[in-house]
Structure 1
Amino acid sequence: MLTQVLVALQAHDLPRAESLLRGIIQSTPNHPDAMHLMGVVCGMQGRPNEGLSNFFKIASS
C-alpha cells in the first residue's frame, strides 16, 4: 500500500496520499514509514503541528 501512497505523492494528490496513510496507520499503528510520510503530507498541506506530532510518535516508539 505504501507504493500507492508514493504514486499519489508523485501525482501531487495529497488528500489521496493522506487517506491511504490513515488506512495503513489504522491497520498497523505506529508503522514508522507511514507515520513519517503522514508527517510530511501534513506539513505539505499546511498543518505542521500535526506533522510534527507524527514525527514525535515515531521518535518515542
Structure 2
Amino acid sequence: MKNNYTDEMLSSIAEECREFEHIINAMGYGYSLLNVSPDKFTRNCSDCVNWLGGSCDIFHNELDER
C-alpha cells in the first residue's frame, strides 16, 4: 500500500521531531561520505530510522494533532 504523504508534510514533521535520526547517520557512515552537504541537508521523515515504511507512531501522532 502506497502512502500519499507530501514532501512538505514529511519535512515539516521531521524538522520538529526530537527523535529524528537519519538512516545514514545510524548506519555509521557519516554524511560527508555520501555527499550530503550540511548546508543543503533537509530532514525528511522517510529518511529517519523510525519511519518504518510509514508506520512511525511519532509521525501519525503529529498528523492527528494537525
Taking structure 2 as the reference length, the TM-score comes to 0.25
Taking structure 1 as the reference length, the TM-score comes to 0.26
Decide which structure has greater helix share: 1
